[in-house]
Structures are given as structure tokens and as C-alpha cells.
Amino acid sequence: MKSTFEAVGFCKYCKESRMVEAPEDATQEQLDQLATDECTCQGAYAEREREQQHEYAVYEIENIIKPRSEAAAVIFRDNIENIQMGKIKQITATVITPESGDKWTLLIKRGKDGLTISAKTTFEAKTEVF
Ligand SMILES: [Zn+2]
């Protein structure tokens, strides 16, 4: 087991310092991340919200996208952050499922309040992640 020590980290957003418990070989960047994880400022809070949204999005992509197309699921999953940050507005994939021959339109996009993940054929499976 690695031993830990108490060190000073700085929140990435508000720069407030705090004592954090870290592995002995932790870099300053890791200490700062630990401090950010514990900080209650708006920036740190928003980062945790984004991380949670990211987790939900991964889960929903597994549920809604992957059963229709593993390839699209990989692309969507790899770009959650780009969508969250607005670097990509939306990704659409059109696929045909081999078993049934159904044509699906798969979508991930950033809306006003969260991420929308949907799979549409003659009906639609849709979810929003906040
Ligand atoms: Zn902070």
C-alpha cells in the first residue's frame, strides 16, 4: 500500500488552497484536482455536475444507442465532453440494424438544459440527461 501525506492543493477555479490527503508521489496537478474535488465554489460545483452528467450520458448511450449500433455508441461516448462543452452541437448517425433491417436515426445533442440522447425509427426512444 502506498503511503499518503497531507499537502496543499489549489482549486482550479477559485484558487483557494486546502489541505488534501494524497499519495506520496502525487503531482501538484493531482493535488490541485483533489482540492478542486472538495471545493464548494461555483466552478468546482459545475465541474462535478458535468462529471455526473457525463456518467449518466455513458449509461444512456449503453441503453439506447449501443443496442442499435456499437460503432455509433463508441463515437457518441468519445464525444460526450465535446458536446457538453459545445465544441460539437450534435452528432447524428443513421444505421440499419442487421437483424430487423430497421433504419434508425441515432442522436446526441446539447440542449438548453442538458444532453439529449435518442434513437428514432418509426417510434422514438429518447432521454434527456441533466
Ligand atoms: Zn474552488
54-63 pLDDT per residue, tens: 999 999 999 9
pTM: 0.76
The pLDDT > 90 percentage for the chain reads 81
User: Rounded CA gap, 74 and 130, in Å?
Assistant: 21
> Which residues face 7 on adjacent strands?
20
CA of 23 from ligand 1 middle (Å) equals 21
Same domain? For 122 and 79 the reply is: yes
- Asked if the structure places residue 15 within a domain, the reply is yes
- State how many domains the chain has: 2
Domain match, 69 and 102 both: yes
Per-residue pLDDT, 124 = 74
One domain, residues 82 and 31: no
Kindly report, residue by residue over 64-76, the tens digit of the pLDDT. 999 999 999 999 9
CA of 25 to the centre of ligand 1 (A): 23
Cα(43) to centroid(ligand 1), Å: 6
Together in a domain, 35 and 83: no
- Chain position carrying cell 442487421: 98
User: What amino acid is encoded at 124 in this protein?
Assistant: E
Nine cell digits for residue 109: 445533442
C-alpha 53, offset from chain centre: 6
Whether 99 has a pLDDT exceeding 90, the answer reads: no
Residue-wise pLDDT for 12-36, tens only, equals 999 999 999 999 999 999 999 999 9
69 and 108 inside one domain: yes
Same domain, residue pair 81 and 32: no
User: What is the pLDDT averaged over residues 97-104?
Assistant: 86
Question: Which structural domain, as residue segments, surrounds residue 16?
Answer: 4-40
63 and 33 housed in the same domain: no
Question: Could you give the CA distance from residue 14 to residue 92 in angstroms, rounded to a whole number?
Answer: 37
Residue 49 CA, ligand 1 centroid: distance in Å: 14
Does residue 48 belong to any structural domain of this protein? no
The yes-or-no verdict on residue 126 having pLDDT over 90 is no
